[in-house]
Amino acid sequence: MQGHRLALASFTYRMNTLIRSITVSSLACALLLQMGGVHARQSSSKVDGLWCGSGLLHEFSLRLAQQQHDVNGTLVRRDRVRELTGRIDGNVLRTQTTKVGALVLEVEGDAMRVIDGEGQLALVRGMSFNRVRGSSCTESTSELR
């Protein structure tokens, strides 16, 4: 009987140690995954400011204001002003659909290229906007060419 108690106590001790070890390992894995996720998450590009169209978009300007991932702005061509809203995830800005469609733009440094569009805006796929430091696109025309 004494031997059975000793064997049972030894078994219980080993099982409790194993359970503690598994719990600690699980917590460590969860913590590492969480830390890895934080470091792997790509920060969003900053798109605040004035962007001037180039090529076929040379008559357009895009003025954006960004708060974290939310973006609001205006797309202007001559006297026409269109309000737009969207979200940026990493370096991709997706605008919400308006009566003329939606845009998907990819930011690379001081260039923002149209990578997709709906409706009439699909026609400008591949065209780009360039960030300017001035207050208007006409002031910055020499910088763009």
Same domain, yes or no, for 93 and 132? yes
Exposed, middle or buried: residue 137 (CB in 10 Å: 0-12, 13-18, 19+)? Answer: buried
Say which amino acid occupies 67: Q
Same domain, yes or no, for 121 and 70? yes
Q: How many domains does the chain have?
A: 2
Please report which helix (H) or strand (E) contains residue 9, including its range. helix 2-40
pLDDT digit string, tens, across residues 71-88: 999 999 988 998 999 999
Residue ranges in the chain modelled with pLDDT below 50: 18, 23-33, 35-41, 141-145
Give this prediction's pTM.
0.66
**Cβ-contact 54, 129 below 8 angstroms:** yes
Per the structure, the complete domain to which residue 4 belongs is given by: 1-41
What is the spatial distance between Cα 98 and Cα 102, in angstroms, rounded to a whole number? 6
